[in-house]
Amino acid sequence: MPRGTIKWFDRNKGYGYIEEDGGNQVFLPGGKVFYHDMEKLDTGRRVAFDIRHGGREPVAENIKAFK
């Protein structure tokens, strides 16, 4: 499972971006975040996630925030 850092996340807009370890940027749709982790998505927070490819950009799924 890839890991990275929340680059930014806007709860009102419901999306943001993760900077994957290694430098790639991954789109972070709020609907793919486990509910109990939503409040933990602050800039700089470490997360683990799956990546789905196929659209304009890679998309994070099954996002889990670290404590």
Angle subtended at Cα 22 by Cα 20 and Cα 27, rounded to the nearest 5 degrees: 25
Domain 3-65: top CATH class: mainly beta
Q: Stretch 17-25: mean pLDDT, rounded?
A: 95
Q: Give the separation between CA 66 and CA 40, rounded to whole angstroms.
A: 8
Q: Stretch 49-67: mean pLDDT, rounded?
A: 88
Neighbours of 49 (CB within 10 A): 22
State how beta strands 3-10 and 15-20 pair.
Answer: antiparallel
pLDDT number for residue 29:
85
Instruction: Give the start-to-end residue ranges of the domains of the chain.
Output: 3-65
pLDDT higher than 60, residue 36: no
